Amino acid sequence: MQQGPDLPGLHSELGATPEEIVRAWEAHSNGAPAQWFWVVRREPGSGRYVHDLLQWGLIPNWVKDPGVWPKPINARCEGIQSKPAFRDAYRSRRCLVPIDLFFEWMRIRDEGGKPVKGPKQPYAIAVKNRLPYAVAGLWESWIDRASGRITRSFAIVTCEANALVGQIHDRMSVIIAPENFNRWLDNIEPDPFDLMVPYPPERMEIWPISTRVNNVANNDADIAAAV
């Protein structure tokens, strides 16, 4: 769930043009891959922090045909330094994605550990104050050789779940605390690996929500209501 571009503790300026915003932005109560989200980056030249709209699903610049490229929405932090699809962006194109919530689906298993049939139970995951928070991202530009058009895209870094999120799922998004925003965004350090760790469970909360979240057409704020 993303309601806007703001992050507590970080002032950023608008990078997108008004036309781009009109064309691409809508509130994401139930955000999905391939949609356009506010992403905060730092301009290397000016040092300004800017927010603009990037597409969820990473397309590295060397991809020939985005139609067949898997466009990963997540990047596992394990091995992120060396994987061809992530390493360049990790070294020099890190970003923050401002969100209020993310969702995970609990795998229901029986006593023997086998998955049970039927829909999984979705959960909302937030930090305790319910303010927007920042998850770690990587971004890339892809240039269409034919048209010259540039597509900017991003993926969200994941790590092992902490004790709280681990109750429902084995992975979670990497949350960057405000005091570490600059280290992640400035792209000076080539490998800030110590930031890609599970956020402290005592600063988070999770609650079950309706399976209405399973349909992206249900894009209202009530999607995160506890059930």
Partner DNA sequence: CCAGACGTTGTT
Partner DNA sequence: GTCTGG
How many Å from the N-terminal Cα to the C-terminal Cα in the chain? 17
Which one of the spans 2-10, 186-194, 200-208, 212-220 is the region binding DNA (CB under 7 A)? Answer: 212-220
Q: Quick one: which segment of 33-41, 132-140, 144-152, 200-208 binds DNA (CB under 7 A)?
A: 33-41
Q: For the beta carbon of residue 221, count every other beta carbon within 10 angstroms.
A: 12
Question: 3-class DSSP state for residue 35?
Answer: coil
Please select the residue that binds DNA; options are 8, 9, 70, 178, rule is CB under 7 A.
Answer: 70
- The least CB distance from residue 45 to DNA, in Å, is 22
Question: Long-range pairs for 174-183 at CB < 8 Å and ≥24 separation?
Answer: 174/77, 174/135, 174/136, 174/199, 175/127, 175/133, 175/134, 175/135, 175/136, 175/199, 176/96, 176/134, 176/135, 176/136, 178/7, 178/8, 178/9, 178/10, 178/134, 181/7, 181/9, 181/10, 181/96, 181/134
Q: Give the one residue of 14, 27, 34, 143 binding DNA; rule: CB under 7 A.
A: 34
Exactly one of 50, 91, 105, 205 binds DNA (CB under 7 A); that residue is: 105
Tell the smallest beta-carbon distance from residue 56 to DNA (Å): 8
CA distance 167 to 99: 22
114 is a site residue for DNA (CB under 7 A): yes
Which of 170, 189, 202, 222 is the binder for DNA (CB under 7 A)?
Answer: 170
Q: Which of 185, 196 has the CB closer to DNA? A: 196
The reply on whether position 143 binds DNA by CB under 7 A is: no
Residues lying near DNA in the complex (CB under 7 A) are found at 32-35, 62-64, 67-68, 70, 72-76, 79-80, 83-86, 104-105, 107, 114-115, 119-120, 158, 169-171, 211, 214-217
